[in-house]
Amino acid sequence: MLPIVLSSLLALSSFIAHSPGDDDKLTKKARKIHQRVLTLDTHADAPIMMQKPGFDVGTSHDTKRDGSQIDFPRMKKGSMDAMFFAVYTSQGPRTDEGHAEAKRNALNQFELIHQALKKYPNLAELATTPADAYRIKKAGKRAVFIGMENGYPVGKDLSMLKTYYDLGCRYMTLTHFANNLIGDSSTDPDGPMYGGLSDFGKQVVPEMNRLGILIDVSHVADSTFYDALALSKAPVIASHSNCRALCDFPRNMTDDMIKAIAAKGGVVQVNFVSDYLKKPSDANRAAKTKIRMARVGKVVTPEMEARMTAMSDSVSKVYAAERASLSDIVDHIDHIVKLVGIDHVGIGSDFDGGGGVNGLEDVSEIENLTVELVRRNYSEADIAKIWGGNLLRVLGQAKVGK
């Protein structure tokens, strides 16, 4: 009889400790914090959707219906104050023709972003400085920063960096899934070309410092990472990367890399891609890798993109049980904080580029992340740093003259 009584008491104490009333209180506390702090996401692939005929970032969409995760109304609904819209180009041929097409593609994406901001001046505004982010939040609008994912559109022309900076670019991911003329990628199927940064890449990094474009080391090979870190006079960022200690994938940061970024004053922005949050099965990873690498070295046509999207959707459905959760995201944040402290971690969702987990499907639900941070006993000051303070501090240090 005694064991039954004890069991009942333990069950009752557990219910009392985690009652719905406590969850309600925690959620209300988190909501207030979420409204007060400036929320900033350093990696949002909204331009991928903005290139699709008929897509309007100024109107509300449904993730289940069209696969989109970002628009201005949903940013407002989720109290997402600021996002870096990523001008992304997949790695095509390293030829004059390939670079010309990449530049055309990139410039078109910049234009789409600027056109959307002109069309909806009451909803969103371009931001290029930390002060802009706070000012635009105070005005009740969304702040749109611009980053570039992949240095491929620079080609061989260093002056293109100034062109992109003048259009609003404030960080550039040096490589993507394959090597380019700047340096080696962490995932090129043919392996390294340079053993780190190329000779041209060693000119790119100082020029980015001079202009005030943050060096982004997400996607780069470990050798490229250490070359860029040593050469940069400014702190560097990983705009959308996770911890290799928790999920062993070359796209993620080792503990030593995280420590090195922190030692230079930089920040690692945790992303929401399941494959980089928890290790998928070999079959799942192989299927997704095959799809990603199908683009490498090719000029991607709309037809090819449609096929890749359909294949990705199919693979996601087959392996839905392996999808990561909101808790997995905060596990990576916890790991970075324990390793290097609260000043060197932030958020880079990769929404519209593969990001999204159970409990966090699109930008309208980002308050759920703040709830989980409160549940893990992060203070409001900590959450303000994670959600944007750390990244904006680093952005303010991006410009370092020669």
**For residue 157, which phi and psi values (nearest 5 degrees)?**
-105, 100
Lowest-confidence segment of 49-53, 209-213, 300-304, 398-402 by average pLDDT: 300-304
Q: What percent of the chain has pLDDT over 70?
A: 84
Instruction: Band the pLDDT of 279: cuts 50, 70, 90.
Output: confident
Structure confidence by residue, pLDDT tens digits, 349-366: 999 999 999 999 999 999
| Six token digits for residue 176 | 């993507």
Question: Domains of the chain, with CATH numbers?
Answer: 38-395 (3.20.20.140)
d(CA 246, CA 320): 20
- The residue among 110 and 11 whose pLDDT is bigger is 110
Residue 312 pLDDT > 80, yes or no? Answer: no
- pLDDT computed for residue 11 by the predictor: 41
Hey, how many other C-beta atoms are within 10 angstroms of the C-beta on 49? Answer: 20
Decide which of 281 and 203 is more confident: 203
Report the alpha-carbon distance of residue 323 to residue 333 in Å, rounded: 18
Contact predicate 358/365, CB 8 Å: no
| Cβ 373 vs Cβ 81: under 8 Å | no
Q: Render pLDDT for 391-401 as a digit per residue (tens, 0 to 9).
A: 999 999 999 97
pLDDT tens-place string over residues 109-147: 999 999 999 999 999 999 999 999 999 999 999 999 999
CA distance 82 to 144: 6
For residue 222, is pLDDT > 90?
A: yes
**∠ CA(244), CA(249), CA(250), 5° rounding?**
95
* Pairing between β-strand 124-126 and β-strand 345-347 as defined by DSSP bridges: unpaired
How much is the pLDDT for 23?
A: 87
Residue pLDDT, tens place only, 166-202: 999 999 999 999 999 999 999 999 999 999 999 999 9
What integer is the mean pLDDT of 292-305?
65
CB 238, CB 218: distance < 8 Å: yes
367 vs 382: CA distance, rounded Å: 15
Q: Which of 181-195, 196-210, 302-316, 372-386 has the lowest mean pLDDT?
A: 302-316
Instruction: Give the single-character DSSP code of 185.
Output: B
| pLDDT of amino acid 236 | 98
Confidence of residue 96 (pLDDT cuts 50, 70, 90): very high
Cα-based angle 80, 83, 88 (whole degrees, multiple of 5): 145
The tokens for 258 are 């995280």
pLDDT exceeds cutoff 80 at 273: yes
Contact 194, 228 (CB under 8 A): no
What pLDDT, on the 0 to 100 scale, is given for residue 7? 42
Q: In the block, which residue shows the tokens 């009942």? A: 8
Q: Is the pLDDT of residue 224 over 60?
A: yes
Residue 22's pLDDT band, with cuts at 50, 70 and 90, is confident
SS3 content of the chain, % helix, strand, coil (to 5): 50, 15, 35
Mean model confidence pLDDT for the chain: 91
Instruction: Specify whether the CB–CB gap between 363 and 351 falls below 8 A.
Output: yes
Closest by CA position to 49, among listed 40, 57, 38, 58:
57
| Burial classification of residue 254, based on how many CB atoms lie within 10 Å of its CB (0-12 exposed, 13-18 middle, 19 or more buried) | middle
- The whole-number pLDDT of residue 59 equals 98
Do 60 and 71 contact (CB within 8 A), yes or no? yes
Convert the pLDDT of each residue in 328-348 to its tens digit: 999 999 999 999 999 999 999
Distance from chain centroid for Cα 400: 24
Contact (Cβ atoms closer than 8 angstroms) between residue 151 and residue 208? no
Of 46-60, 107-121, 241-255, 315-329, which gets the smallest average pLDDT? 315-329
Span 2-10, average pLDDT:
41
Number of C-beta neighbours around residue 265 at 10 A: 15
Confidence of residue 300 (pLDDT cuts 50, 70, 90): low
Report the pLDDT value the prediction gives residue 197, as an integer from 0 to 100: 98
Cα(252)–Cα(245) distance, integer angstroms: 9
Most confident of 10-14, 62-66, 221-225: 221-225
Check: CB of residue 193 under 8 Å from CB of residue 259.
no
Do the Cβ atoms of 337 and 385 come closer than 8 Å?
no
